[in-house]
Structure formats: structure tokens, C-alpha cells
Amino acid sequence: MSTITTKDDTRSTIPERTTGLQKPQVLLAGAFASRLLPTIRQRFAVQAFGNEFIDLGKIDFTNVGLAIFFGYGYRIAEHHLNKTIFINLHGSLLPLGRGPQPHIWNWINGDPHGVTIHKMSAEIDKGPIIVQRKLELEPCEHSINSTMYALVDAATELFQENWVAISEGTFALKATDALGSSHSLKDTRRIQDLVKRLADAPVSIFLQEVRTRMSRLDSAGQIHRTRRAWSLSAPASS
């Protein structure tokens, strides 16, 4: 790691990627990446992408100091992770809620809600944690959609508050616990029709429908009871 001085004379310990007078860059991608643009542009030039697949093999990382993903739906191959520092914003309190659509599964599993900013590793959502924040959400006050946007707002705010440390590489890392919960797209496909139909209904109604569905599948022997993904406990009420 080497020290560089950015335009506003802020000291930084991100990997030195500058060539000549070229401004260091951040690669930014994901469905919610645009929410981070105003903050990042204060210090860096930005290569911005949406949630489309990015062929990272075709990206020139020579001047890229950070790669930041927020709502990116594709796995990053391990051989790319040594090209720069890869950071992800995730909608759960890792190690709970690894994998896609944690805003749905945290409700189903009765897990606490929150957001995590972490350094990416070869295993999905298992990289060391930079910072986390817990959210208090009530099932009678939120829908699946409003839960997602509450988490997006919280992650954006958390990123803004910690941007200086992230951009300078001065953040501390905390290892994630090997335990926790994880879910795949295959898990969600079993209830995808309920997610679509009840996306804006109160979560309490959605959970009633999910439990009915899971009970029916369980009776038919289609649920593996040892899988954390199908632990259908109700969220604690206050």
C-alpha cells in the first residue's frame, strides 16, 4: 500500500493507481449504484454501471483504486479480486442473510434487519466486515418492497458516513462468523408468486401466506428441515 494525495489534499492509503495527472477511479456497479455517485465523485472519477453483467476481464484496472457494488446480481470470479479492493453493500446483518434478496428472508427467518458494508472475498457475502447497522422494522408497517428501500436508504447513509475511511483505506476489518444463514435464488423461486402478488402488502400478510405454502410443501415432503432457509419462525412483536 502506498500513500497518495487526492485533489483536496486528503491523505489516502488506497492502492496507488494513478498515472501522470490522471485522477484515480472507482468502478461502481449495481441496481442502486447511482445512489453513491454524488459521494464518490467528490474524490474520484467513476466508471459507473447498472445491474448488467460486467465482463471484468475487459476492464482496465490500472487506475482503479476501488470497485464498489450495491445491488449487483452477479458473482465476482475469484481471480478478479486481487486487481483492486472490492467492496459490497449488502442488505442484511451478515453473517445472517447471505445471498440474494435478504430483505425477504430476514422476515421469513425472524432475523434482525440491517445493512453491512464488507470487503468481498471468493465466497459470497463472507468477506470481512467494514461496518454494519441494525434497523428496527415492524411487519405491520412494512411491505417487501418498502423493506428493500428502507435497507437501500440505510446502506446509502452508512456508506456516506464511512466514505472517508473507505476511500482512504483506514477502515478496520472484522471477520465474519462461519455460522449464519444463506439463501439462493432457487429458494425464492418456491415463493416467487407470493413475492410478486404481495410485494406491497403488509409483511404480516405475506408471512401468513408463506407459512401456509411451506406447511403444504412440508406435508408433501418437499422441505429439508435442516436447511436454515426454511426456518419459518415469526418475527418477534414488540
Question: β-strand 11-12 against 4-5: which pairing, if any?
Answer: antiparallel
Task: Please enumerate in sequence order all residues whose Cβ is within 8 A of that of 189, keeping only pairs 6 or more positions apart, or say none.
Answer: none
Which is nearest to 146 in space by CA: 210, 109, 201, 207? Answer: 201
Cell numbers that stand for 121 in this block: 472475498
pLDDT in tens, the chain (238 residues): 322 222 333 333 444 444 444 678 999 999 999 999 999 998 899 999 998 999 999 999 999 999 999 999 899 999 999 999 999 999 999 999 999 999 999 999 999 999 999 999 999 999 999 999 999 999 999 999 999 999 999 999 999 999 999 999 999 999 988 788 999 888 888 899 999 999 999 999 999 999 998 888 766 555 444 344 444 443 333 3
- Give the number of C-alpha atoms closer than 13 A to the C-alpha of residue 132, restricted to the C-beta side: 18
The reply to whether 179 falls in a domain is no
Which is nearest to 169 in space by CA: 43, 77, 59? Answer: 43
**Predicted local distance difference test score (pLDDT) of residue 214:** 83
The reply to whether 178 falls in a domain is no
Q: Which of 121, 139, 168 is the last residue of a domain?
A: 168
**Predicted local distance difference test score (pLDDT) of residue 220:** 59
Same domain, 37 and 149: yes
Same domain, 190 and 164: no
Same domain, 192 and 157: no
Same domain, 88 and 37: yes
The reply to whether 238 falls in a domain is no
Distance separating alpha carbons of residues 222 and 218, to the nearest angstrom: 6
Same domain, 17 and 121: yes
The reply to whether 80 falls in a domain is yes
pTM higher than 0.85 for the full model? no
Contact (CB, 8 A) for 54 and 76: no
Same domain, 206 and 114: no
CB crowding 173-194: b at 16 or more within 10 Å, else e: eeebeeebbbbeeebbebbeeb
Full domain range(s) for residue 80: 4-168
When divided into structural domains, the chain yields a total of: 2
The reply to whether 192 falls in a domain is yes
Same domain, 159 and 47: yes
The reply to whether 216 falls in a domain is yes
The reply to whether 236 falls in a domain is no
Alpha helices in the chain (DSSP H): 37-40, 102-109, 144-168, 185-189, 192-197, 203-219
